[in-house]
Structure 1
Amino acid sequence: MNILAIDTSNDILGIALLNEEKIIGEYITNIKKNHSVRVMPAIERLLQDCGIVPAELEKIVVAKGPGSYTGVRIGVTIAKTMAWSLGIPLSGVSSLAVLAASPRYFNGYISPLFDARRGLIYTGLYQYRNGHLETVMDDRNILAEEWAEKLKELQAPVLFTGNDVTLHQETFQLQLSENAFFAKMTEYNPRPGELGRLGMHLPAEEIHSFSPNYIRLVEAEAKWLEKQEQKNDKL
């Protein structure tokens, strides 16, 4: 089964081509450039380099969020379009789960995170059990301080990973002390090969109704809804 994995949910642009036996090819960059103009050329180049034509693809796997509103939307839109036009199944995987998948060596909990500004983070809690990544606490948008307090109650080792970890490292160290561990820089980038592996055997989504998991409304939408509620209260 030839699988194309697509992740544009954050600054990382990750594309992978894999099958059930190996990662055939990966393309990863970690630069703040417009994914909308770079993702399709990256896909085309990877397929060309690996000697695979689109008609030979049998499944699309996409990182469905949380993350950058625009980035998540770009990846999901392209994945849906390709899956529909090729007539192949599509599966979505949490962007945080992809990030948590790499440090499988860690004997404890794994907390991947993306910064969400104003002290907030996107995060969840994961753990490897019998070689499989399992969700311990669902993905959420939460204050870093509140998350640190919640993890402190576990009284267990927690590995924090992701390119934004350094922004909140002091908070976690203060609360968790010796139970706070931090991934190495080379593990910060979510691997598109891991994305493809996680989504390989997931059930197919209904392509037309499949939508990103933003977790929280973007600020503009939230403000608009707040104004509408205020208007309704005055009626």
Structure 2
Amino acid sequence: MNQILFDSSTGVLVMALAKDGRMIDYSIRIGKKDHAKYVVDRIDQMLKRKLLTIDQIDEIIVGYGPGSYTGLRIAVMVAKMLAYTKNIQLKAVSSLYFLSSGIEEAVAPMIDARNGNVFAAIFGEDQMILEEGLYTIDYVREVAKSHQVKPYFIDERHYEIDTKKIIQKSFDIEDVHHFVPNYLRITEAERNLE
């Protein structure tokens, strides 16, 4: 089974190509809110390096948030488009989990949400200690400390992925058309309308 995995919820576009869950190629690109220009091309480059075509892909696993509003929309839209047009099974997984899946011990991944806030969760060995949400950095650090869990701030240079774990944690998207990113908060424009 051939799988494409990708996430663009932060300033880094992380992609992997896997065969039966084992990573066989990857692509990393640090961007400046311009992932949209590179996602499809990067997928194509990975496939060509392994002499594969998109028609040989069985699953697409996408990080669907939380994170950058624009980054989430890009990843989810590309994943939906490819899944629908090529009849590929679409799966989704938390971006927080995706970008910290390579860490062996329990972890408290955080993505900057500005103004002293983070999108965060705390993943234990087999359980969720803190549900995904929008929290203050101090609150997440306090909860992590009380559970003796390592805080992990995800950014362009700090992320660790494990394709097998990402695939195991992913879930099937039954209705591709109604699949939306996990934003966890309304946009600034929506807040200004209130």
| Global fold match (TM > 0.5) | yes
8 Å CA contact 1:4, 1:61 repeated in 2: yes
Structure 1 residues 22 and 126 mapped into 2: Cα distance closer, same or farther (>3 Å)?
Answer: same
8 Å CA contact 1:98, 1:194 repeated in 2: no
* Structure holding more strand per residue: 2
> Matches of 1:93 and 1:120 in 2, distance apart?
22
- 1:157 deviation in Å? 1.5
Residues 136-215 of structure 1: pairs in structure 2 closer than 5 A: 136-152=129-145, 154=146, 156-164=147-155, 188-191=158-161, 193=163, 196-198=166-168, 202-215=171-184
- 1:194 deviation in Å? 5.6
8 Å CA contact 1:61, 1:92 repeated in 2: yes
3-state SS of paired residue (2:176): coil
Q: 1:218 maps to which residue?
A: 187
- In structure 1, stretches of 5+ residues that fail to align are 165-184, 227-235
> Matches of 2:83 and 2:183 in 1, distance apart?
21
* Structure holding more helix per residue: 1
> Matches of 2:124 and 2:110 in 1, distance apart?
14
> Matches of 1:195 and 1:14 in 2, distance apart?
15
- Over the aligned positions, Cα root-mean-square deviation in angstroms equals 2.0
3-state SS of paired residue (2:32): coil
Structure 1 residues 3 and 50 mapped into 2: Cα distance closer, same or farther (>3 Å)?
Answer: same
- In structure 2, stretches of 5+ residues that fail to align are none
TM-score (normalizing by structure 2): 0.90
Instruction: State the identity %.
Output: 30
TM-score (normalizing by structure 1): 0.75
- 1:23 deviation in Å? 1.1
Query: Is the radius of gyration larger for structure 1 or structure 2?
Result: 1
3-state SS of paired residue (1:100): coil
Q: How many residues align?
A: 193
Structure 1 residues 59 and 21 mapped into 2: Cα distance closer, same or farther (>3 Å)?
Answer: closer
Q: Which amino acid aligns with 1:35?
A: H
Deviation digits for residues 174-216 of structure 1 (CA, Å, limit 9, x no counterpart) = xxxxxxxxxxx6xx2243736753456x333310010000001
